[in-house]
Structure 1
Amino acid sequence: MRKIVVHMAVSLDGFFEGPDRDIGWHRVDDDLHRYFNEYLATTSAFLFGRVTFELMDEFWPTADDDPEVPAPMGEFAGIYRRIPRIVFSRTLAPTGPRTEVHREVDPEAIRSLQQQPGGDMTIGGAKLIDAFRQHDLIDEYRLFVNPVLLGRGRRLFDPADVPRDLRLVESRAFGNGVVLLRHERVRPG
């Protein structure tokens, strides 16, 4: 069964973006980008909310056309073009190749997607992550904790009424100070 994996950068105080959607504090160097690429190349789908999709799709499809783009970023551009994208939006019109639009998060439809063959599906976008969390659809969290305290911005996780048990399965410190914390969802039974 394909897992649904949160793959996000956060500040030490839990923000995924600063004021005015600032992500300039993300410490993604070539080493960390290569690590991202190694994992993301094995995935079978990117699950995005509209805002995240539009930000990603604005840059990545042609990023490797720029000779100034570092090699790991150029490599990711190819990965981005190859991996199908499922966008959850009530307003977005169906768009280009390898992109499918879903109007809502339907837990049964998501579970059906998980039964299809292929690698993990990564999810991005705080609102979409929250919707998937509410339905207990997330199997793994890969949080890349950046060595910065933002103090304000948008938190990755909204408050939730139901606690979810997690198990740490990996931690890794990168040379730039970013620490990966990888947790799996502990399911009852």
Structure 2
Amino acid sequence: MGILTFSLNVTLDGCVDHQEGIADGETHAFFTRLMDENGVMLWGRTTYEMMEGYWPAVARGDVTALPAVREWAAKLEIKPKYVVSSTRMDFPWTNSHHIGGDLRLGVQKLKDATPAGVLLGSGKLATELDRLDLIDEYLFLIHPRIAGHGPTLYQSGLSSTRRLALLSAKPLNNGAVAMHYRRERG
């Protein structure tokens, strides 16, 4: 059984707006390595729709991009992508698959079938999966910025505090820090 790792860009004040992070070659290379280390991507519908509206064009070369950004897009194009949605059933982007019905059952089956691991990149979906006790690890790229606005990490709250054990902390040259934690259970 694979582990489910929640990974996201976040500012020092908890903002997860994708436009508030540092979108340079180093950040994209970091996430490309992370994607390579995991078997599949997992998103909610909103994140999927944001991604499908941009990254396929970068992968095709229709958008000018740094080499690291283009590499991310090319690898994302072929990576299996799973999307949780109760409102949309058709996901035409290459290697995209739908997870519907019972969220706990669908995601647990995905974890069981993916020994290389599941990489979750949607904040709202993470809250729901955390409530269902399905997240095993957290890898946040903390950006040296204070956004002063939302959306924020776990904005809608959790019923209890999550205790985490630090696995690693790695500073990037651009000032961001990759913080990797494992969920402590029991």
TM-score over 0.5 for the pair: yes
**Which of the residues 131, 135, 139 maps onto 2:136?**
139
Tell me which residue corresponds to 2:80.
84
TM-score by length of 2: 0.91
Q: What does 1:8-87 correspond to in 2, within 5 Å?
A: 8-17=8-17, 23-64=18-59, 65-66=61-62, 68-87=64-83
Count of matched residue positions in the alignment of Structure 1 and Structure 2? 183
- Give the match's secondary structure for 1:153: coil
Q: CA RMSD, aligned part only?
A: 1.6
Distance 1:143 1:121, change over 3 A: same
For residues 74-114 of structure 1, the C-alpha deviation after alignment (integer angstroms, 9 at most, x for no partner) is: 11112111111111111113222411122245323322221
In the TM superposition, residue 6 of structure 1 has moved relative to its aligned partner by 1.0
In the TM superposition, residue 137 of structure 1 has moved relative to its aligned partner by 0.5
In the TM superposition, residue 35 of structure 1 has moved relative to its aligned partner by 1.8
The 10-residue stretch of structure 1 (82-91 or 93-102) with the greater mean CA deviation from structure 2: 93-102
Tell me which residue corresponds to 1:152.
149
Q: Is 2:165–2:183's contact at 8 Å kept on the other side of the alignment?
A: yes
2:119 is the counterpart of 1:122: yes
TM-score by length of 1: 0.90
**Which of the residues 162, 167, 170 maps onto 1:169?**
167
In the TM superposition, residue 24 of structure 1 has moved relative to its aligned partner by 2.8
Give the distance between the partners of 2:160 and 2:102, measured in 1 at CA.
Answer: 19
Structure 1: 4+ residue segments shifted above 3 A: none
Give the distance between the partners of 2:73 and 2:48, measured in 1 at CA.
Answer: 14
Give the distance between the partners of 1:25 and 1:115, measured in 2 at CA.
Answer: 34
In the TM superposition, residue 67 of structure 1 has moved relative to its aligned partner by 6.4
Q: Is 2:99–2:106's contact at 8 Å kept on the other side of the alignment?
A: no
Kindly, what percent of the aligned residue pairs are identical? 25
In the TM superposition, residue 150 of structure 1 has moved relative to its aligned partner by 1.3
Distance 1:46 1:117, change over 3 A: closer
**Which of the residues 95, 109, 112 maps onto 2:91?**
95
Distance 1:154 1:117, change over 3 A: closer
Give the distance between the partners of 1:152 and 1:117, measured in 2 at CA.
Answer: 36
For residues 135-160 of structure 1, the C-alpha deviation after alignment (integer angstroms, 9 at most, x for no partner) is: 01001111111111112111111321
Tell me which residue corresponds to 1:186.
184
In the TM superposition, residue 187 of structure 1 has moved relative to its aligned partner by 2.0
